[in-house]
Structure 1
Amino acid sequence: MSTTMDREDCLWFLSPAKTWDEALPIGNGRLGAMVRGTTNCDRLWLNEDSVWHGGPQRRVNPSGKDSLDSIRQMLDAGNYSAAEDLAARTITSLPAAMRHYDFLGDIFLDFGHGVDPDESDVPASPAGQVLNYSRQLDLHSGVVTVTYDLAGVHYRREYFSSTVDEVLVVRLTADREAKVNLGLQLHRGDHEDPNRRINCLYDSLEEIGSGALLMRCQLGGAGAVEAVIAVGAMVTGEHARLSQAGGQIEILNATEAIIVVSAETSFYHKDPADVALGRLQHALPKTWDSLYQTHTAKFSAIFDRVQMSLGPSLALPTDERIQRARSGEADLGLVVLLFNYGRYLLISSSLQGLPASLQGIWNRDHQPIWGCKYTININTQMNYWPAEVCNLPECHEVLFQHIERMAVDGAQTARDLYGCGGWVAHHNTDIWANTQPQDRVPSATYWVMGGAWLCMHLWEHYLFTQDTQFLRKYYPILTGAAEFFIDFLVERDGQLVVSPSCSPENSFVIPNRSPPAAARLCVGSSCDSQILRELFQACVVGSQVLKVPYTQFKDVLDKLPVPEIGKDGRIMEWLSDFEEVDAGHRHFSHLVGLYPGYSFDNLALKKAAKMTLQHRVKNGSGHTSWSRAWLICLYARLGDGNAALVHIDHFIKNFVDTNLFSIHPPFQIDGNFGLTAGIAEMLLQSDKNGQIVTILPALPDAWRSRGFINGLRTRGALAVDLAWEEGKLTRVSLFSKTARTLTCRIRPELLLSGCGEVVVGLQSGISLTLSGHWPGSIVV
C-alpha cells in the first residue's frame, strides 16, 4: 500500500522549517498561510489576497495625449533617446508607481516543546528531547500535518484553509489526556526574524467573548483598505481550560484544541469585522470531522482530476531529494511532484478572490519586492498557463473577472492618455484593476500590450471549453481591446504597427551610432505584432461563431506584420533587424507567437525560433525561474523533449527552494506554474482549433521507460488519458461531450504498429480507447 512518504502528491520533511522559505503553504484561493511547524513556538504567516496598501488611484499624466505624435516622429527619425525622454516626462503616471500587496499578520503558538531551529539560546524543554518529528503537506487534500513525540506523548497538528467555510483551521491533539497546552498570540509587525514579535502595524486588538481575539488595521494611504483578523478556539477534555488575558489566548489541559482564523477586508465587505466574526462564529461550533471532510472533499475533487506518474517514487524527504537532484542523481518522481505542486498552488491561490500575484497569495513583507503585484508582460500570464490544459478552468475565472474590471479602467486610460477608443493596459495592474503605466522604465513602462495579451486567456478558455455563452459574455472585452489598436496603430510601409513600442524588457543597439548607444523604445516590436495577430484572429473567429460583423478586425489582421527571420537565421525581435544589447536576455517576447500563441505555423519559423533559443541559452538566458520555465514550454512546443528536460533539470538544480517554491530569485511563483504548463505541453498538444491532437509530442528519452498521465484537456473540449511503456504508447483514451471527428498524431517510433496519424470519430459522452496499434483508417 502506498503511503504519503512514497507518493508524488506529498512534500515531507524530518525537521521544522527554519525560515519562511522553508515553511509550507496552504490556501483556499483568498485566505492563506505559511506554516512553519516548529515545536517550541510555531508561527503562521497569514495572507489575504485583498490586503493591499492604500486605495484606488487615477494616475494618468495629462500631457500624454498631446505628446504622442512628437514621440512617434522622433522614433521614425531614429531619435530614440529624445523619444524616451519625452515619454518619461509626459506618459509616466502621476505618481509613477501603483499600490502594492501587503502582509496580513502572524499567529504564534507557544508550546514550549524542545528547541526550535535558530533558537539555540533558548533553554531546552524540561520535558526532554523531541523525537520522531515529521512535517508534511498533502497536495491531494491541502492539509499540512506535523507530528512528534515528547516525554512519552505523541503530538499531532493539522492545518488547512477551508475552501468551504472560508477560514483557516488548526487542530492540536495529543494521545494522552490534558497534554495540549499552549498560548496563542496575534501579531502584526516584524517579519524578518522568525522568532521576534513586535506589534507595531495594527490599530487595535480586542478580546471578543470567550477565547477569541479581533485585530484591526488600516493599510495606509487615501481610501485605504481596512483589514481584520479574528481568531477563536474550542477545546476538548475533562480538565480543559480556555482563557484570554493581555491579548493572548491560553489553552490548558486539553486533549484536543481547534483554532479557527478568519480574515476579511473592506475591499470585499463594507464591514469586514462583522463578516470575519460571522465566519468565525459559524465555524467554531462545527466538529473537526465536519470542517475537515467538507474542505477535503472539495479540494481533492479538483486536484484529483489529473494524475501523473513517471515510474516508482523515492521514499525520501523532499529536501533530501532536492539535494540529490542538485548533485546529479536521477529522480523522475521529483518532476511529477513539481508538476503536482504547480496544480496545488494554482488551486490554493486562485480558487476564489483575486488572481494569483507574483507570489500567489503568500508574502511575508510589508514592502514586497516588485510590489508583489500583477506584472502582465509575462508573469501573470504564465501563472495561468496550466489552468486549462490541467483541467482547472474554475481557477482561471478570477483572472477573467479581473480582466473585466481592467476593461472598465482601461477604457478611461485609453481615452485620457491616448485619445483612443476601446481599452488598454500597460505592463502592471493592481487590486483595483489599474491600467496606467507603471514606473518610468522605457523597456517596460510605455508598452501598451498588457490587456491584449491577457485577452488571449479569454480566448483560450473558449477554445478549451467551446462555451459559446462564455464567449458571448467576454466577446465585448476582446473586441474592446482590439478597438483600441484600430485607433492606436500607425501605418508604416503598408503595415500597421504599434508606436511607441518596446520588446519587454530588452534593449537594442542603435545602428550607425558612434560611440555605440542603446535604446528601448521603438516602432513595432515583433512581440506586439504577434500578440495582435492572436487578438484580431480571435475577434474574427469569435465574430463568426457569434454571427456578428468582423470586417474591421479582418482588415487590420491582414495588415499586421508577420514574424520575420533576420540575416543570422533567428526571429527578428524588432521591426528592423537590430542587434540586442543582452544576447542572453531572460525574456523571449518575440517568440510569444510560438508559445503560448500559434503564429509560428511553418517549419521555417520553427527552425528560426529554435536558433533563437539556442542563441539565447548559449549567452546565458534562463537565469530566472520563470524564464527557465518559458524555455521548457517553448522547447516542448517545438517537439524537442530532450532540450526541454535539460531545462527542467536546470530548474530543479538552481531555482527550487526547500519547500519547492520557485525562486526568481527571490521567490516568485510564476516559475512553478510555467514548469507545470511545460510538462503538460511535453505530453499533449492541440492545435488552435482543437482539430489536431498530438500525443507525446516532446517525450524525452529519460522518460520513455514507462509513465501515464490522466485528465489533461485539449482545445476543442477533449479529455485525454494516455500511458506508455518501453518507449511505446500503450493506451490513449479520448472523451468528448459532443460528437466530433479529429486527427490524432504521434511520432511513428512511439507506436507499437501503424502510422503516426489516425482520424478518430467520437460519439457524444462516450470514451474511446486506442491501443498502441494505430490503423490508418477512421476509428468510430
Structure 2
Amino acid sequence: MGYGSEQVHPLNLWYKQPASRWEEALPIGNGRMGGMVFGGVDKERVQLNEDTLWSGFPRDTNNYEVLRYLKRSRELIKEKRFVEAEQLVEAKMLGTNTESYQPMGDWYVVQHFSANNSRPEDYVRRLDIDSGIASTRFQVGQTEFMREIFVSAVDQVICARYEASGDQCLELTASLQAPVQFALSSADGVAIVLHGRCPSHVADNYMGDHPRAVQYEDNRAITFQAKLQVVVDGGHVSISNDNELTIHGARTATFLLSAATSFEKFDQQPFKSEAELSERNNHLLAAALSLGYEQLRERHTRDHRQLFQRVSIDLGQTPNALLPTDERLEAYKRGEQDPQLEALYFQYGRYLLMASSRPGTQPANLQGIWNDRVQPPWNSDYTTNINTQMNYWPAELANLSECHEPLFQLIEELSESGARTAAIHYNSAGWVAHHNVDLWRTSTPTAGHPSWAFWPLGGVWLTQHLWEHYLYNPDEAFLREKAYPLMKGAALFCLDWLQENEDGLLMTAPSTSPENKFLTAQGEVSSVAESSAMDITLIGELFDHCLIAAGLLQQDDSFAQRLEEARRKLPPLQIAPCGLLQEWHEHFEEHEPGHRHVSHLYGLYPGTTINSEAAPELVEASRLSLESRIRSGGGHTGWSCAWLINLYARLKDSESSYRFIHTLLARSTHPNLFDDHPPFQIDGNFGGTAGIAELLLQSHLDGIALLPALPAAWPDGYVKGLKARGGFVVDIEWIGGKLAGGRIYSTHGAVCRLQSKDSIRIQASDGIFIDASKAFKTIKNEWYSIIIAPKEGE
C-alpha cells in the first residue's frame, strides 16, 4: 500500500505506528461526545468522553461569612497592610473547589488474525481534519485491513467501520470499560451496554498534583449509559458471558455507539431512570441503523465540511510535508522550516473547536472534550482568568461563530448563579463569577490561595465574548436579547464593586492580578492590593461596550449616565519608573519577573484600549513589559506562549510573533499536535490558531487591516474566509511579502474601512471602483474585489 498522496494531504495528521500513549492518540468529536483513537493493530482503544459527565451535583457553594470581612479587607489595603489583607481573604473569603470533568470509559476492539506469524505491513494511522474522520490501514499477509471512525454531530453517534479485503475475514472482540463505577449488560444479541455513575465528589486539590479521594456514596450524582451495537456483512455476531461482542468471519463490521446521561440542567438534580437512558440510546441507534454506514458517513462529512471548509490557508510549501506528523514535528524542533505545518496547526485548532464546542453542547473546557482521568489536572474545568476565554479567541476570526454559542449559554447560566453570589458575598447588584467554573456553574471563589482563587472579574472578562460576537455578526436581536442584558448585569456588579477614594477615583479592592504576586515596600510577598491594571481595563472596556450598546438600542439612559460618570473616575493605567506598565495602581517590585500571566496587558490583546491611536505611551510600556517578562523566562507554558503570539501581532511585530509560533510548536506540542502546558491543555492550540490569523487580518480599530504583521517566513500565500468585525468575510493573497489581491464579502451591509501598507482599489460587483482611502457603505451579501493599484507612471 505504501505512503501515498492520501496520507500526506495538507489537512492530514498521519503516523507509521499506533499511539503508545494518550498524547499520541487522535481526537474526534461532535461537541457532545469525544474519542481518542489509538490505532492499535491487535487491540484498538478508543477513549470516550461525554461533555455532561462531571462529578458532583447542584449545591450551594456560597460563603455566607464573606460579607462580614469585606470592609476589613479594604481597610487593611488602604492602610497598605497587604499581607494581612491577603491572609484575611485566604482565611475568610474563599470557598470550595469546583467538581471534575469525568471520562466516560474505553471501547476496546481486539482483532484476531488467522496468519499468526504474519506481522502488519504498510501501517498508516491518520486523522483527516477536512472530513473529521480518523482511520487506520495495514496489511497482514494478503489481506488489507481498514478502519474508519468518526463522531457525527448530525446523528449523535460514534460510528466505526472495520473492513477486510483479501483472504482473511474479520475476527473481532469488542468490549466497554469505565474508570468510574460501572456495570455491563447485553441487549438483543448484537449490543452491549455500559451503565455508569460519576463520583458524587472528587476531593479538593486544585493543582491535581497528588491522589485525591473520590466519593460515590451519594446517589444524586450523574449516571450514564453507553450502548454499542454492531452490524456485519457476512459472518455472525455473538455476546459472551463477559458481555463482549464477538464478530466472526465478517467482511465488514459497522459499530455504532451512543451515549445518554442523567444531566438535566446546572441547577437541577440530575435524574433520568435507566429506562429513560435506554430509550434515548435506542432511539439514536435505531435512527442511525436505518441510514446505514454510507449515509451516516456522507451526512457527517457534509455537516463537518460546511463549517471546516469556510477557511482555507496556504503559508508556503515544504518537502517535510511528506513526513509523518511526529517526524515532521521533530524536524521542526531541529529548526527546519515548515510553513505547511504551521498552516496545519492553524486548521487543527479550528478542527478542535468544532469537535469540542457545537450549538447545544457544553463549552470546550481545559482539555476541550478529551479527558482520560477521574482526577484530571485542574479538574479540567473552565478557568476563567484566561484559559476558557483563550479557547474561544479563534471562534469569530476563524469563521466558526456557531461554535461560540456554548460559551454564551454558560455565561447566561453563570449570570443566574452569579447573581446570588454577588448579593451574598458582596451585597452587590448584577452578577459575579470568579476564576473557576464547572458544569454546575459555580460562581464563587475556590479554595486555595487568593492570588488565583480571589478574582471577581471572571464574569466581566466573559462578557467581552458577547460583545465580540456582536461586532463580527452585527445582529441587533442578539445584542438586545442576549448580549446587552448579560453585559449590563456584569456592569451593575462593577458599579457596586468600585469604591471611591479620597482623590475621587473609583478603585477595586481587594484586587488581584490573576495568579501573580508582588513585593511590598517591606519586601514581603502578597497578591492582594488595590486596582490591578486588569481590573480597571476590564471594567473600563465593559462600560464602553455597554454605553455603545445602550446607544444602539436606544434604551437605559439613566444607566448609561451612571456608566459615563463612573468611566470618567476610573484610575488611569500607570507606567513604572523603569518604563514598564504597572500591574497594580501602586508601584510594586515584581515578585516573579517572568510570570506566565501578562494580565496587565489585557488592553493590548484581547482588549483594544491599549493601541497606538489612543495611547501610544501605553503601547510602548506594554512592549517593554513583554520584553522584560520574556527575558525573565515568561511565556514558558503553552497557553502563555500563545498569548505572546497575539500580543506581538497587535504590536505589529511580526518577527517576534512568528518566533513564538515556532516556540509553541517546537517546545509545547505533543506528537498529536495537542498543546502541552504541560500537561495537556487545549487553550494553547486555540490561542495559537488565533495568533496566526491575527498576523494576517485585524479589525479591532474601526477598520480592516490587511496583512498587518506578515512574517518573512511566509513570503507567498493566501488565506480565504477569515471574518472581520463589522460583518465581513475576507480573502487575501500575497506574493513576495506584499498584498496581491483579495475579496471582501459583506454579511450585513455595514460600512467598511480598509487599511493596507499597499495601494489598493476596491471594485464592486457591478464593476464600479470605490475609493479605497475612504470608508464605504457595502451591500449585504455582496462581494467586493481588492485590486492592487498601479504605481505612479504605470
- The interval holding the TM-score normalised by the smaller chain is over 0.9
Q: How does 1:186-585 map to 2 (within 5 A)?
A: 186-189=176-179, 201-221=180-200, 222=218, 223-237=220-234, 239-268=235-264, 270=272, 271-313=276-318, 314-352=321-359, 353-474=361-482, 475-492=484-501, 493-511=503-521, 513=522, 516-548=523-555, 549=557, 550-585=560-595
Correspondence for 1:735:
745
**Amino acid aligned to 2:516:** N
For the aligned residue pairs, the C-alpha RMSD in angstroms reads: 2.0
The CA distance in 1 between the partners of 2:168 and 2:142, in whole Å, is: 13
The CA distance in 2 between the partners of 1:554 and 1:8, in whole Å, is: 51
**Amino acid aligned to 2:160:** V
8 Å CA contact 2:42–2:112 kept in 1: the answer is: yes
SS at match of 2:106: strand
Correspondence for 2:211:
none
SS at match of 1:701: coil
SS at match of 1:26: strand
Q: How does 1:136-155 map to 2 (within 5 A)?
A: 136-155=126-145
8 Å CA contact 1:728–1:749 kept in 2: the answer is: no
Q: Name the CA shift for 1:283/1:759 in 2 (closer, same or farther; >3 Å).
A: same
The CA distance in 1 between the partners of 2:619 and 2:788, in whole Å, is: 28
The CA distance in 2 between the partners of 1:3 and 1:38, in whole Å, is: 23
Q: Name the CA shift for 1:551/1:52 in 2 (closer, same or farther; >3 Å).
A: same
SS at match of 2:646: helix
**Amino acid aligned to 2:548:** V
Q: Name the CA shift for 1:357/1:591 in 2 (closer, same or farther; >3 Å).
A: same
What TM-score do you get using the length of structure 2 for normalisation? Answer: 0.91
Correspondence for 1:195:
none
Tell me how far 1:775 sits from its aligned partner: 8.8
**Amino acid aligned to 1:104:** M
The CA distance in 1 between the partners of 2:757 and 2:577, in whole Å, is: 32
Q: Name the CA shift for 1:555/1:272 in 2 (closer, same or farther; >3 Å).
A: farther
C-alpha distance after superposition, 1:347-378 (max 9, x if no partner): 00001410000000000111001000000000
Tell me how far 1:748 sits from its aligned partner: 4.1
Q: Name the CA shift for 1:245/1:282 in 2 (closer, same or farther; >3 Å).
A: farther
The CA distance in 1 between the partners of 2:607 and 2:700, in whole Å, is: 10
8 Å CA contact 1:683–1:695 kept in 2: the answer is: yes
Does the alignment pair 1:135 with 2:135? no
SS at match of 2:450: coil
Tell me how far 1:757 sits from its aligned partner: 5.0
The CA distance in 2 between the partners of 1:102 and 1:578, in whole Å, is: 41
Correspondence for 1:119:
none
- When structure 1 is superposed on structure 2, of 276-285 and 17-26 the one drifting more is 276-285
Q: Name the CA shift for 1:44/1:739 in 2 (closer, same or farther; >3 Å).
A: closer
Tell me how far 1:127 sits from its aligned partner: 4.2
Q: Name the CA shift for 1:630/1:647 in 2 (closer, same or farther; >3 Å).
A: same
8 Å CA contact 1:422–1:480 kept in 2: the answer is: yes
Structure 1 unaligned segments of length 5 or more: list them: 115-124, 190-200
Correspondence for 2:700:
687
The CA distance in 2 between the partners of 1:279 and 1:737, in whole Å, is: 36
The CA distance in 1 between the partners of 2:571 and 2:148, in whole Å, is: 56
8 Å CA contact 1:728–1:750 kept in 2: the answer is: no
Tell me how far 1:397 sits from its aligned partner: 0.2
Structure 2 unaligned segments of length 5 or more: list them: 201-217, 265-270, 762-769
Correspondence for 1:668:
681
Does the alignment pair 1:606 with 2:619? yes
Tell me how far 1:324 sits from its aligned partner: 0.4
8 Å CA contact 1:232–1:284 kept in 2: the answer is: no
The CA distance in 1 between the partners of 2:791 and 2:293, in whole Å, is: 55
The CA distance in 1 between the partners of 2:78 and 2:596, in whole Å, is: 28
Tell me how far 1:607 sits from its aligned partner: 1.2
8 Å CA contact 1:39–1:112 kept in 2: the answer is: no
SS at match of 1:5: coil
Name which of 698, 703, 708 aligns with 1:697.
Answer: 708
8 Å CA contact 2:760–2:787 kept in 1: the answer is: no
SS at match of 2:431: coil
Correspondence for 1:118:
none
SS at match of 1:229: strand
Q: How does 1:156-167 map to 2 (within 5 A)?
A: 156-167=146-157
The CA distance in 1 between the partners of 2:358 and 2:74, in whole Å, is: 43
Q: Name the CA shift for 1:417/1:51 in 2 (closer, same or farther; >3 Å).
A: same
Tell me how far 1:464 sits from its aligned partner: 0.6
Percent identity of the aligned residues? 37
8 Å CA contact 1:8–1:340 kept in 2: the answer is: no
8 Å CA contact 1:738–1:765 kept in 2: the answer is: yes
8 Å CA contact 1:756–1:774 kept in 2: the answer is: no
Does the alignment pair 1:723 with 2:733? yes
The CA distance in 2 between the partners of 1:665 and 1:740, in whole Å, is: 43
Q: Name the CA shift for 1:17/1:749 in 2 (closer, same or farther; >3 Å).
A: farther
Tell me how far 1:598 sits from its aligned partner: 0.8
**Amino acid aligned to 1:153:** T
Tell me how far 1:289 sits from its aligned partner: 0.6
Q: Name the CA shift for 1:324/1:363 in 2 (closer, same or farther; >3 Å).
A: same
The CA distance in 2 between the partners of 1:34 and 1:742, in whole Å, is: 43
Correspondence for 1:198:
none
Correspondence for 2:724:
714
C-alpha distance after superposition, 1:6-53 (max 9, x if no partner): 432110111111111100000000101000001010101000011101
Tell me how far 1:519 sits from its aligned partner: 0.5
The CA distance in 1 between the partners of 2:777 and 2:76, in whole Å, is: 58
Does the alignment pair 1:67 with 2:63? no
The CA distance in 2 between the partners of 1:90 and 1:774, in whole Å, is: 69
Q: Any runs of at least 4 consecutive aligned residues in structure 1 with deviations exceeding 6 A, and if so which?
A: none
Q: How many residues align?
A: 744
The CA distance in 2 between the partners of 1:285 and 1:174, in whole Å, is: 23
8 Å CA contact 1:303–1:344 kept in 2: the answer is: yes
The CA distance in 2 between the partners of 1:211 and 1:774, in whole Å, is: 70
8 Å CA contact 1:685–1:697 kept in 2: the answer is: yes
Name which of 653, 657, 675 aligns with 1:644.
Answer: 657
C-alpha distance after superposition, 1:472-511 (max 9, x if no partner): 1121111001101111111122211211110111000101
Tell me how far 1:60 sits from its aligned partner: 1.3
The CA distance in 2 between the partners of 1:39 and 1:579, in whole Å, is: 57
Correspondence for 2:784:
768
C-alpha distance after superposition, 1:75-102 (max 9, x if no partner): 1111122212211222111xx2111111
Tell me how far 1:740 sits from its aligned partner: 4.1
Tell me how far 1:444 sits from its aligned partner: 1.2
Tell me how far 1:701 sits from its aligned partner: 1.1
SS at match of 2:455: coil
Name which of 163, 166, 179 aligns with 1:173.
Answer: 163
The CA distance in 1 between the partners of 2:790 and 2:412, in whole Å, is: 45
C-alpha distance after superposition, 1:502-543 (max 9, x if no partner): 0111000101x1xx2111011110000001111111110010
The CA distance in 1 between the partners of 2:131 and 2:447, in whole Å, is: 41
The CA distance in 2 between the partners of 1:756 and 1:739, in whole Å, is: 17
The CA distance in 2 between the partners of 1:113 and 1:668, in whole Å, is: 38
The CA distance in 2 between the partners of 1:173 and 1:5, in whole Å, is: 18
SS at match of 1:417: helix
8 Å CA contact 1:127–1:150 kept in 2: the answer is: no
8 Å CA contact 1:342–1:676 kept in 2: the answer is: yes
